Amino acid sequence: MATSQPPIRLTSHKNFVHRLVFSTLTGRTAHISQIRPSSPTNPGLAPHEISFLRLLEAVTNGSQMEISYTGTILVYKPGLITGSGTGGTVIRHEIPAGCTRGVSYFLIPLCLMAPFSKAPIKVLFTGPGVITSSTPTGDMSVDSVRTAILPLFNQFGIFNNIELRVLRRSNPGPNGRGGGGEVQLVFGHQVRLPKTLHLMNAGRIKKVRGVAYAVGVSASNNSRMIDVTRGILNPLVPDTYIFSDVSSAPLIPTPERNNPSAKKKIGLGFGLSLVAESSTGCLFSADVASPPSGGQPPEDIGKQCAYQLLEEISKGGCVAPAAFSTMIGLMTMGSEDVGRIQVGRDIIGDESSIQLARDLSKFGAPGWGLRDAGDDSNDVIISVVGRGIGNVGRKVA
């Protein structure tokens, strides 16, 4: 009788979602301890982390989760990624009102698991906690996930039937909590193994695309943001087009004693999402939204977002910091061959990138090979050996 492998022991809440994703893909049990043990008011798992565990439970079959009484220890035994099942029913995932993270916090790890699912994944994110814009906690907007993260799957031969729809927009509510938006993800391309990637030429920026959105506020905010942004970016690349989207504020139920069906508007604000594409298909994104407290003119948002995009491009390499974990994750799970990718020194030296490398090595992935790019860019080339894990649920055609 085969003995089961011991659990992989990890500490702290950092890199929480990616640890659970790699645990699910490799089939190894994860034991995460010391989750905010010293917090006097909110020790243990946060609402958005518990919500992500519920989402994992919905898209997998046979997953087991054990949470300690204080919530500071989690034991996660992964199951098989089944997706929406053979019937293709849409999974409704409700995000609670107290959530401070954008819906991209759930979307990016879900998209990383989706190619390895047994059946297509169809998830509808709904509820009073869905924030579609970028957030003060550092999450990117849904528009940037759609235009800067999902197209990267093409590099791995994953490109069919992938759709991300924003059904209702929302900015962060009061104190950055809750939103009331609605987003649907359809990921219908499952592969046996992702292709080996060799991406070592960043190319030149050829176009900039963007979305300016106003939720429950005047449409003139969009034109003011676009005007300032174009003024900064046009000298870099004349092919700059920013789409304007105006929508009404979402209503969420707030029942009262006298009026049980009462509703209130939430998530008012505006923001901007920009994506720059290079001649070799590399994507760089920037996101800025108005703060929940208000008081910031749209011109400042436009200027901040344009300069943020220029800063992302100046970091160099072929991958933006926001997409680094997705690219490396797919390269690690790919066929047993050496893939290479060129990244900027600032990105490889970031705390989250180093933590990602440590976590991957704990889950059995070989170490990265690093060498200088050898040109004027001062970049680093990362060599990653694929694990060849791939998709155990998919039938071989």
Report whether 19 contacts 10 (CB < 8 A). Answer: yes
Spell out the residues 6+ positions from residue 264 whose beta carbon is closer than 8 angstroms to its own: 251, 252, 254
pLDDT tens per residue across span 360-395: 999 888 778 888 887 777 889 999 988 887 665 554
Q: What is the C-alpha to C-alpha distance for residues 136 and 118, in angstroms, rounded to an integer?
A: 35
Quick check: helix, strand or coil at residue 124? strand
Q: Answer for the pair 284, 313: CB distance below 8 angstroms, yes or no.
A: yes
pLDDT at 289: 93
Domain 205-315 has CATH 3.30.230.10: no
Rounded Cα–Cα distance for residues 93 and 76 (Å): 20
- Among 1, 40, 98, 28, which residue's Cα sits nearest to residue 364? 28
What distances in angstroms separate CA 195 from CA 91, 275, 340, one per listed residue? 29, 25, 12
pLDDT of residue 3: 47
How far is the C-alpha of 172 from the C-alpha of 304, rounded, in Å? 18
pLDDT at 1: 35
Number of other CB atoms surrounding residue 255 within 10 Å: 10
| Percent share of the chain, pLDDT over 90 | 47
Model confidence pLDDT, tens digit, residues 302-344 = 999 999 999 999 988 889 888 999 999 999 988 888 999 999 8
Look at residue 396 and tell me whether its pLDDT is greater than 60: no
Residue 201 has, within 13 A of its CA and on its CB side, a CA count of 5
> Thinking of the domain 8-199, which architecture would CATH place it in?
Alpha-beta prism (3.65)
Question: The whole model's pTM is what?
Answer: 0.92
Partners of residue 168 on adjacent β-strands = 182
Extents of the domains making up the chain? 8-199, 205-315
Quickly state the pLDDT bin for 89 (edges 50, 70, 90): confident
pLDDT in tens, 193-214: 888 889 888 889 999 999 999 9
